[in-house]
Amino acid sequence: MTDKIKEVWLGPGKKDGTIRDFKPENDGLHIDMNKRGNFEWWYFDARLDNGYMAVGFFRAKHERTGKTGVEITIYKPNGEKIQKIFDYERSDLVATKENANVHIGKNYIKVDYTNEKLPAYEIFLDEGDLGIHLFYTPKLRGWMPGEGFTEFGTLGQFGWAVAIPRADVNGTIKIDNNEIEVKGIGYHDHNWITFNLVRVVEYWHWGRIYSDNFTIIYAYIKCNKKMDNYPINILMIAKGEEIIHSTGEFEFIQKGFTYNEKAGNKYTNSITFKLSDRQSISLNVQKIIDADNLLFELSPILRFLAKNVLRIKPGYFRLKSEYLIDYFHQGKIYKEKGDTLHEMVIVK
The verdict on 172 and 209 lying in the same domain is: no
Nearest in space to 258 (alpha carbons), one of 240, 242, 270, 273:
270
Q: What is the pLDDT of residue 314?
A: 83
Q: For residue 18, what is the DSSP state?
A: S
Please say whether the beta carbons of 146 and 10 come within 8 A. yes
Q: Give the global pTM.
A: 0.94
CA-based R_g, the chain, Å: 19
State whether residue 199 is helix, strand or coil.
helix
Mean pLDDT of 52-62: 97
Q: What is the pLDDT of residue 1?
A: 57
Q: What's the CATH number where 208 sits?
A: 2.40.370.10
Domain-ending residue, one of 197, 217, 241: 197
pLDDT at 273 over 80: yes
pLDDT at 143 over 90: yes
The verdict on 111 and 214 lying in the same domain is: no
The verdict on 208 and 253 lying in the same domain is: yes
Split at pLDDT 50, 70, 90, the class of 162 is very high
To the nearest 5 percent, what fractions of the chain are helix, strand and coil?
A: 5, 60, 30
The verdict on 62 and 127 lying in the same domain is: yes
Contacts within 8 Å (CB) and 24+ apart, 251-260: 251/275, 252/220, 260/288, 260/291, 260/315, 260/317
Split at pLDDT 50, 70, 90, the class of 197 is confident
The verdict on 271 and 213 lying in the same domain is: yes
Domain-ending residue, one of 168, 197, 226: 197
Name the residue range of residue 173's domain. Answer: 1-197
Q: What is the pLDDT of residue 293?
A: 85
Q: What is the pLDDT of residue 65?
A: 86
The verdict on 52 and 175 lying in the same domain is: yes
pLDDT at 170 over 90: yes
d(CA 98, CA 347): 32
Domain-ending residue, one of 197, 223, 244: 197
The verdict on 126 and 171 lying in the same domain is: yes
Q: Report the range of poorest mean pLDDT among 86-90, 102-106, 292-296.
A: 292-296
Beta strands in 194-278 (DSSP E): 201-210, 214-223, 231-239, 242-247, 251-260, 265-276
d(CA 268, CA 55): 23
Mean pLDDT of 57-63: 95
Mean pLDDT of 94-110: 98
Nearest in space to 192 (alpha carbons), one of 300, 100, 292:
100
Mean pLDDT of 235-253: 97
The verdict on 204 and 276 lying in the same domain is: yes
Triad 135, 62, 79: Cα angle to 5°: 55
Task: Write out pLDDT tens, residues 283-338.
Answer: 999 999 999 886 454 444 333 334 433 455 788 999 999 999 999 999 999 999 99
Cα–Cα distances in Å, from 62 out to 59, 231, 282, 304?
A: 6, 25, 32, 19
Q: What is the pLDDT of residue 125?
A: 98
**Total of domains in the chain:** 2
The verdict on 57 and 159 lying in the same domain is: yes
Instruction: Give the count of alpha carbons within 13 A of 99, CB side only.
Output: 13
First to last CA, the chain: 21
The verdict on 174 and 258 lying in the same domain is: no
Length of the chain: 348
Neighbours of 42 (CB within 10 A): 27
Q: For residue 226, what is the DSSP state?
A: G
The verdict on 260 and 238 lying in the same domain is: yes
Q: What is the pLDDT of residue 347?
A: 84
Please say whether the beta carbons of 314 and 335 come within 8 A. no
Q: What is the pLDDT of residue 302?
A: 39
Residue by residue, DSSP assigns 99-141 as: S--EEETTEEEEEE-SSSSS-EEEEEEEETTEEEEEEEEESS-
Mean pLDDT of 193-213: 93
The verdict on 72 and 141 lying in the same domain is: yes
